[in-house]
Amino acid sequence: MTDLPFTIDQLRILKAIATEGSFKRAADSLYISQPAVSLQVQNLEKQLNIPLFDRGGKKACLTEAGDLLLRNGTRILAMCEETCRALEDLQNLQGGSLIVGASQTTGTYLMPRLIGLFRQQYPQVIVQLQVHSTRRIAWSVANGQIDLAVIGGEIPSELKQILQITSYAEDELALILPKSHPFSKYQNIKKEDLYRLRFITLDTHSTIRKVIDKILNQHGIDSSRLTVEMELNSIEAIKNAVQSGLGVAFVSVSAIAKELELGILHWAKIENVTVKRMLSILVNPSRYRSKAAERFRNEILTLFVTTNTNNVDQLR
């Protein structure tokens, strides 16, 4: 068998450069010197006898050959990591790692609590959380880079036959108002009252925004007639804007539990309208599933969904 013209370390360096966009940032992320990174790339190009980077610009850009090696190298690295996790599982969770993914709201407000519960039971397992868009997380699960994920958005159609998608829990989206708003005196408002409010939202391409518009339209509320005061790029920014009296917003109940308990925000119910979305668990059934992933799913997720449902009921 011919010796391979590259090593695992060289593939890791190639991936880091492509991710970080420069040799220096890649070196920092890998905790090695920049000269060491440059030397490994030079050796790799010499062994392959082909340039991997276009050195004409300021940013490290891959050549066609570099892009090909990166795509296949990423798969190789994922398989190596999967093999290592499988071997570590033989120690019966006396070590090992778990990589979980989540979409933005779920990853910010729900997953840290779930990971905290898991770490209490299995402190020796290293847990990594990756928070990105639903689409990116779904692809990472499909590629084996993430063990399992909890998401609230639409799964790319090309992945629905690859991934195992399990309904997990309903995530209610509350209409929140500043305490100074005239409507904060009422527990319930009418559907027509929505046209008199000024909304603070995520951008039109966000999953939550699409869910809200769809549900409102299903209940006879024309979402296109709602006055959008401003669009922000994070739930925290939206909450702060509402608290400052700049408008109202639909926000996941999981994101405002503390504010509701402290009486900082008011949750206004809409007569005969409940805005909910379904959270789903994603796994790739064709990939190796670690004991840590199984424990997280069967113990933590199952336990938490019951507890969290009771907590939401108490906040109503």
Does any domain span residue 3? no
Answer yes or no: is 112 within a domain.
yes
| Within-domain flag for 179 | yes
Residues 268 and 175 in one domain: yes
Type of residue numbered 299: E
Domain termination site, one of 77, 101, 120? 77
The span from the CA of 258 to the CA of 284, in Å, is: 34
Specify the CATH number for the domain of residue 249: 3.40.190.290
Write down the pLDDT at residue 301.
84
Q: How many CB atoms are closer than 10 A to CB 200?
A: 23
Query: pLDDT value at position 289?
Result: 82
- Identify whether 1 is part of a domain: no
Whether residue 182 is found in the same domain as residue 235: yes
Question: What pLDDT score was predicted for residue 93?
Answer: 75
Q: Which domain holds residue 300?
A: 87-169+280-315
User: Could you tell me if 91 and 153 lie in one domain?
Assistant: yes
Has residue 82 been placed in a domain? no
- DSSP three-state, residue 172: strand
Q: Specify the number of domains making up the chain.
A: 3
The per-residue pLDDT for 308 is 52
Q: For the chain, which ranges sit under pLDDT 70?
A: 1-2, 90-92, 304-316
pLDDT (0 to 100) of residue 71: 93
CATH number at residue 158: 3.40.190.10
**Chosen domain end from 24, 54, 77:** 77
Shared domain for 271 and 141, answered yes or no, is no
